[in-house]
Amino acid sequence: MALTGQDILNAVNKAPIGQKVGIVAGLVVALTVANWYFFVDPMQTQIAQRQGTLRQLEDELIQKQSIANNLAQFKHEKEILERRLAQALTELPNEANVDDLIRSLSEIGTKSGLTINTIDPQAEQRQSFYASIPIVMSVTGNYHEIGVFLDSLSKLARIVNVTNIKMGGAKLVNDKLQVNASYVATTFRFLPEQKPAAAAGAAK
């Protein structure tokens, strides 16, 4: 026959005092263990997990606040870099644009008072990351006009180096000393990085 709760209480009441103390102590321990196992331990685990999540969120918040605080500085630095890039592409463009450069050289020479005899672009010479484009020119004018022309070239936004300057054939024209001058005006362009041929074929 199964024992009821009342039967258990009656048996405990009839037991000696020492057994009663032992039974009560055992019940207390059992209740404590059950309370720990079913309530305290799961709650501590959940608290630890939430504390870990909270620390992670706090770290993310600190990082985002740092980014937000420096956003204005980042934008300013980005604008500076973009301006520098635009200036660099002006000085060292991706395209040769030889026709535009010849037109500029002719206009500058005419404004300086020179007579443009020839403007002869040469073959492009490629280096590691840039190409040089020499343009052989011959002009006629006095020393001052040639000086003005060369000074104007140095002020162009695009880089133009003048080398191999030769002068000769001096003669008086309308009481002014005229000379024939020849030189090489060399400009440059940036060579964009090219993909390997194998990669290009695979892409097709």
Tell me if residue 203 falls in helix, strand or coil.
helix
What's the pLDDT at 139? 92
pLDDT one digit per residue (tens) for the chain, 204 residues: 454 555 555 665 666 666 666 666 666 667 676 666 666 667 767 777 777 787 888 888 888 777 777 777 666 666 765 565 555 545 455 566 788 888 888 999 999 999 999 999 888 888 777 788 898 999 999 989 999 998 998 888 778 888 898 988 888 877 788 899 999 988 888 777 655 554 445 554
Phi, psi of 153 (to 5 degrees): -65, -35
What range defines the domain where residue 133 resides? 98-190
What's the pLDDT at 3? 47
What's the pLDDT at 111? 92
The reply to whether 14 and 38 lie within a common domain is yes
The reply to whether 86 and 109 lie within a common domain is no
In a domain, 196, yes or no: no
The reply to whether 85 and 6 lie within a common domain is yes
What tokens were used for 44? 């501590």
Domain boundary among 33, 65, 91: 91
The reply to whether 56 and 141 lie within a common domain is no
Pick from 155, 159, 114, 116: which is nearest to 136 by CA? 116
- The most distant pair of C-alpha atoms in the chain lies apart, rounded to whole Å, by 147
CATH number, domain of 160, equals 3.30.70.60
pTM assigned to the model: 0.50
- Residues 92 and 188: beta-carbon distance below 8 Å: yes
